[in-house]
A and B are shown apart, each in its own frame.
Chain A
Amino acid sequence: MIEVKNLVKVYSTKKNKVIGVDNVSLTIKNGEIFGIVGYSGAGKSTLLRCLNLLERPTSGQVIIDGVDLTTLNKKELRQARLKIGMIFQHFHLVSSKTVFENVAFALKAAKKSKDEIEKRVNELLEMVGLSDKRDAYPSQLSGGQKQRVGIARALANEPTVLLCDEATSALDPSTTKSILALLKKINRELGITIVLITHEMEVVKDICDRIAVMQDGKVIELGTVYDIFTNPKEELTKSFINSVLQFDLPDHLLKKRTGTIVKIQFKGEIAEEAIVSDMLQTFKVKGNILHGKIEYIQDMPLGIFVMELTGDPDEIQRAIDYISLRTNGLEVIASAA
């Protein structure tokens, strides 16, 4: 378990003070994949880097599995870091060393014997699917392969926690998918707690259990991914979610419309109920679906439909009220022209 208590990180430059993390407290449970999202400069990296004390907090505590890292001496901190893996956006591999040597480095840090290192590195490379690249240099690898080496290095000493700083941001979409799948596998099979930061909501949607949304160094919203996606509270959170769930209707459709355009969101089980057909039978309105999709977040369905309702305005209003009541997720995008 990772407990962050009243964490503050202030950068003092000659001219002024910049607040990186502003009094953040949160708890990350064992075995979960915890995402931290926010725009650039929100303080995500700073917060993450405080978790293994790459950045020493100005004040506050970081407690991992009951040990307050801020109280450790240098040697104890090195020991603690063996159990906290970290991967980076730009991989940060040693370019003059082979894949094998890069991974072996982490094991050397743990003072493992030559034989143990040999065995463990081969194991790790097998796990990340890079056995055939053992003697290659980083410059001979693709981005995805480099990140796999980074992951092997991070997992070398069987850590309990894996910190990921924008681990997929430098990768193309299909490589991102494969790295995320690998992270998920690591989480499920090895039970490693993963903390990942990203500015891409897609990443969060794909693998996180819970997320924290950061702005100006503060955590402004925190919850399960499904709750945040279906019921965001803060404006910033909404804008992030829209980047995944929103679809812009083509202008010509909006121009041609004569009725009222509504966006209806179906969460969880109700996605399987026949609400729309009930509505169309009950009220004298016509419904025309302009757009629709179902996303699966943490394996739960979230359906979003955009409909144009035409007919008697009063009837439309009643239909809207009916759907609002049953779905709790209706938004009028444009009223009848």
Chain B
Amino acid sequence: MLLDSLMNLIPELNKAFLETLYMVAISLSVAIIAGLPLGILLFVTDRGLFLENTTVKSILGFVVNMIRSIPFVILLVGLLPLTKLITGTTIGPTAASVSLSVAAIPFFARIVETSLREIDKGVIEAAVAVGATPWMIIKDVLLPEARPGIVHGITITTISLVVYSAMAGIVGGGGIGDLAIRFGYYRYDDTVMITTIVILICLVQIIQFAGDRIARLVDKR
């Protein structure tokens, strides 16, 4: 009986799993591509740093905080017009990826900023004293020095995205979390709920494990 219902679930689970991976992959890519430069900018425009710029710093800081303070569900619905503009639709995993990306960018940017802040200011100063350009300092000092922290940040962001993608069901995003909510929460189907939760737990554990391994690998200190 239990086995039967599990067997019936497999195609559904399979689809949901791929949807989750799809949404996480897209929004993680966007978060890294946009969040990394944003995090760097937040850091280097800070007081006393080599691209100090109070205006840029405060505007970026404000926007980042604003997005981060909006509950994700509201962001998900509020961004529907933008989603329509970008993807041409407001439902499905692609559509859900838009809101996930928007939420993940400032999240990841702050993590990048925090990792950069851990770098000894003296090391940055030594690079300035040598006559290096800002771009060189970012590429050859900041990023290598913050690499382990940034990898940890990617891990955390990925896990958050897996969790947040569960809410994508509201816009028909699908994914494992959505399956858990639809079957488990609304239909009281314990088998589905427990199965999906076990899958989510495993997924998060694997991501964390892989992330830690990579962080250790890139840590040359």
Instruction: Please give the residue numbers on chain A whose beta carbons come within 8 Å of chain B beta carbons, in ascending order.
Output: 52, 54, 78-82, 84, 86, 88, 90, 92-97, 105-106, 108-110, 137-139, 150, 153-154, 156-157
Number of residues of chain B lying within 8 A (CB) of chain A: 21
Residue A78 contacts which of B120, B132, B144 (CB distance < 8 angstroms)? B132
| Given A88-B126, A90-B122, A92-B123; A137-B221 close (CB under 8 Å) | yes
Residue A88 contacts which of B122, B136, B145 (CB distance < 8 angstroms)? B122
B53 to chain A, nearest CB (A): 13
Q: Could you jot down 10 A-B contacts, CB within 8 Å?
A: A78-B133, A86-B126, A88-B126, A94-B144, A96-B145, A96-B220, A105-B136, A105-B141, A109-B130, A110-B131
A105 touching B132, Cβ below 8 Å: yes
B129 touching A95, Cβ below 8 Å: no
A104 to chain B, nearest CB (A): 9
Residue B131 contacts which of A78, A90, A96, A137 (CB distance < 8 angstroms)? A78
B116 to chain A, nearest CB (A): 13
User: Given the complex, which residues of B lie within 8 Å of A153, measured CB to CB?
Assistant: 126, 130
B218 to chain A, nearest CB (A): 8
User: Given the complex, which residues of B lie within 8 Å of A95, measured CB to CB?
Assistant: 123, 145, 220-221
Give Cα distance in the complex from A98 to B220, angstroms: 9
Residue B123 contacts which of A80, A81, A93 (CB distance < 8 angstroms)? A93
Give Cα distance in the complex from A238 to B126, angstroms: 34
> Which of A95, A97, A153, A157 has the most chain B CB atoms closer than 10 A to its own CB?
A95
Q: Interface code B91-135, partner A: CB below 8 Å = 1, 0 otherwise?
A: 000000000000000000000000000001011011111111100
User: Given the complex, which residues of B lie within 8 Å of A52, measured CB to CB?
Assistant: 129
B182 interface residue (CB < 8 Å to A): no
Give Cα distance in the complex from A73 to B103, angstroms: 39
Kindly list the 3 A-B residue pairs having the minimum CB-CB distance in the complex, ordered from nearest: A81-B131, A92-B126, A96-B144
User: Given the complex, which residues of A lie within 8 Å of B136, measured CB to CB?
Assistant: 105, 108-109
User: Given the complex, which residues of A lie within 8 Å of B132, measured CB to CB?
Assistant: 78, 105-106, 108-109
* Given A90-B122, A109-B133, 4 new contacts (CB under 8 A): A81-B130, A86-B129, A88-B122, A108-B140
Residue A79 contacts which of B128, B131, B147, B219 (CB distance < 8 angstroms)? B131
User: Given the complex, which residues of B lie within 8 Å of A78, measured CB to CB?
Assistant: 131-133
B141 touching A94, Cβ below 8 Å: yes
User: Given the complex, which residues of A lie within 8 Å of B123, measured CB to CB?
Assistant: 92-95
A139 touching B221, Cβ below 8 Å: yes
Give Cα distance in the complex from A320 to B2, angstroms: 111
> Which of B132, B136, B147 has the most chain A CB atoms closer than 10 A to its own CB?
B132
B210 to chain A, nearest CB (A): 21
Residue B127 contacts which of A80, A105, A150 (CB distance < 8 angstroms)? A105
Give Cα distance in the complex from A290 to B219, angstroms: 59
User: Given the complex, which residues of B lie within 8 Å of A156, measured CB to CB?
Assistant: 130
Residue A106 contacts which of B130, B133, B147 (CB distance < 8 angstroms)? B130
User: Given the complex, which residues of A lie within 8 Å of B220, measured CB to CB?
Assistant: 95-97, 137
| Given A92-B122, A92-B126; A82-B140 close (CB under 8 Å) | no
A135 to chain B, nearest CB (A): 11
B220 to chain A, nearest CB (A): 4
B71 to chain A, nearest CB (A): 34
User: Given the complex, which residues of A lie within 8 Å of B144, measured CB to CB?
Assistant: 94, 96-97
Give Cα distance in the complex from A86 to B129, angstroms: 7
B130 touching A105, Cβ below 8 Å: yes
Give Cα distance in the complex from A294 to B207, angstroms: 69
User: Given the complex, which residues of A lie within 8 Å of B120, measured CB to CB?
Assistant: 90, 92
User: Given the complex, which residues of B lie within 8 Å of A81, measured CB to CB?
Assistant: 128-131
User: Given the complex, which residues of B lie within 8 Å of A108, measured CB to CB?
Assistant: 132, 136, 140
User: Given the complex, which residues of B lie within 8 Å of A137, measured CB to CB?
Assistant: 220-221
B125 touching A92, Cβ below 8 Å: yes
Give Cα distance in the complex from A52 to B221, angstroms: 29
| Given A86-B126, A105-B140; A157-B131 close (CB under 8 Å) | yes
Give Cα distance in the complex from A90 to B136, angstroms: 22
Residue A109 contacts which of B131, B145, B219, B221 (CB distance < 8 angstroms)? B131
Give Cα distance in the complex from A95 to B148, angstroms: 12
* Nearest chain B residue, comparing its CB with the CB of A106: B130
A196 to chain B, nearest CB (A): 15
Give Cα distance in the complex from A80 to B130, angstroms: 10
Give Cα distance in the complex from A20 to B60, angstroms: 32
A138 to chain B, nearest CB (A): 8
